[in-house]
Amino acid sequence: MSIIVNNLTKIYDSQKAIDNISFEGKQGEIIGLLGPNGAGKTTTMKILTCFMPPSSGTASICGLDIRTQELEVKKKIGYLPEHNPLYGTMYVKEYLSFVSKIHKLKLSSAQINSLIERVGLEREQRKRISSLSKGFKQRVGLAQAIIHDPEILILDEPISGLDPNQLVDIRNLISELKKDKTIIFSSHILQEVESICDKVIILDKGKIVADDNIDGLERNMKDAIEYEVEFLNAISIDKLSTIASGINVKVSNHSRNIIKITSAADIREALFDLAVANNNKLIGLKSSGSNLENIFKSVTKDKEN
C-alpha cells in the first residue's frame, strides 16, 4: 500500500480534530476525502504531508514513517493546499523554474513548457501570478505539486474556483495522473468526487463514518433512495406508508399532489398498484438513487446545514 494510516489522532487542547482514524490507499487509486466543515479533512492532509505531527497513531507513505522519516516522505508527496501560497510577483514560468530548483531538479526550459501545457497554462505563462484568476492560480498550484513527479498527490479542494470548462480539464488531468500515483482528493463538489474517485472516505466530527467505493456505500446504505411521485389526484399519506416497511413519506407540493418517499426498497411497482387500486393515476415518478449526496447527508446526519 502507498498510504497506510493506523489509529491517527490529533488533539487541539481538548478538541479532537481527528479521532483514531485508519485507512489505506494503493497505487492507481483516487481517494475522495469528504466531510462537513471542521470534520478533520485538512488536518488529516497536513499530518500526511508532515506539516504537523499527530497526537497519537502512525502513518506511512510508500513505506516511510511520517514521524521519523519526514524529509524522505516529503520527497514522495505533491501537495496542493486549500489556500495555495504562491509568489504573486513572479511570472508563471519563472515560478515553476524556481520550484524545480527547490526540488533540486535540472529541468530544461522545454520540460517546464511541457508541464505548463499539461496543466493548461500556455496563454498565462508570461503573466504575473497575482494577475491570474483563482482558477488559473489553482492550475499553477497543481503544476508545482506534480513538478517532481511524486508517487503521492494530496489535493485539498483542487477544483475550487474553476469554471465548468476548467473543471473538465483538471478532472481529466487528475484521472491521467492516477495511473502511477495514489491521489487523495478533497472537495465539496460531490458530483466531481463521484465521477472521479475510486474510493470515498467520509469524516464527521473527526471520525471515519464511511470508507468504501461508491457501489459499496450504496449497497450498505439504508433509506438512500428518494422518490418524487406525482399523482393525478390527492392520495392519503397513510395509504402510501403501507406500501413498504421502513419508508419515510412527506408531502412536497400540495397543489400538484407531489409526494417525496425515501425507501431502501424499490417501490415503483407498488406505487403503480396503489394508484390503480385507488382509481388514481401516477403521472410523474423520479428516483434519485443512492447517489453520493444522499449518502453524505445520511452518514453525517446533514450537520452541515
Return the CATH number at 38.
3.40.50.300
Domain assignment present for residue 188? The answer is yes
Q: What does each C-alpha distance from 164 to 41, 106, 185 come to in angstroms?
A: 25, 35, 18
57: three-class secondary structure by DSSP: strand
Query: Please, are residues 285 and 277 in contact by the beta-carbon 8 Å criterion?
Result: no
Could you identify the residue written with the cell 500515483?
A: 181
Both 229 and 209 in one domain: the answer is no
Contact predicate 152/78, CB 8 Å: yes
Q: Is residue 18 part of a domain?
A: yes
Q: Are residues 277 and 169 in the same domain?
A: no
Query: Can you give the pLDDT at residue 216?
Result: 84
Q: Which of 252-270 are b and which e, b meaning 16 or more Cβ less than 10 Å from the residue's Cβ? A: eeeeebebbbbbeeebeeb
Regarding whether 250 and 184 lie in a shared domain, the answer is no
Task: Identify whether residues 99 and 16 lie together within a single domain.
Answer: yes
Identify the CA nearest to 206 among candidates 84, 30, 55, 62: 55
Domains in the chain: how many in total? Answer: 2
Residue 305 counted as domain residue: no
Contact 30, 192 (CB under 8 A): no
Enter the C-alpha cell of residue 21: 482514524
CA atoms within 13 Å, Cβ hemisphere of 245: 0
Q: Is 245 a member of any domain?
A: yes
In a domain, 235, yes or no: yes
Taking only the tens place, the pLDDT of each residue in 31-51 is 999 999 999 999 999 999 999
Boundary of a domain, candidates 195, 216, 237: 216
Among the candidates 216, 234, 256, a domain finishes at 216
- Which of these three, 216, 248, 275, is where a domain ends? 216
Residues 135 and 157 in one domain: yes
* Averaged confidence pLDDT in the chain: 88
Statement to judge: residues 241 and 203 lie in one domain: no
- Sequence letter at residue 43: T
State the residue for C-alpha cell 419515510. Answer: 248
Same domain, 104 and 249: no
Is residue 35 within 8 Å of 300, Cβ to Cβ? yes
Distance (Å, rounded) from C-alpha 59 to C-alpha 6? 6
Percent of the chain with pLDDT over 90: 55
In degrees, rounded to 5, the angle at the alpha carbon of residue 164 between the alpha carbons of residues 144 and 297 is 95
Residue 298 inside a domain? The answer is no
301: in domain: no
Arithmetic mean of pLDDT, 74-100: 94
261 and 148, same structural domain?
no
> Quick check: is 303 in a domain?
no
Which amino acid, one-letter code, is at 192? E
- The answer to whether residues 113 and 252 belong to one domain is no
The Cα 134–Cα 151 span in angstroms is 26
Q: Please say whether the beta carbons of 61 and 152 come within 8 A.
A: yes
Q: Which residues pair with 34 in a beta bridge?
A: 202
Do 42 and 167 belong together in one domain? yes
pLDDT digits over 212-252, tens only? 998 888 777 655 577 888 889 988 888 888 888 777 787 77
Q: Which residue has the higher pLDDT, 280 or 288?
A: 280
By residue count, the chain amounts to 305
Domain span at residue 261 reads 222-289
Same domain, 133 and 194: yes
pLDDT of residue 239: 85
144 neighbors 99 (Cβ within 8 angstroms): yes
CATH number at residue 279: 3.30.70.1560
The answer on 229 and 189 residing in a single domain is no
What would the mean pLDDT of 256-282 be, rounded to a whole number?
84
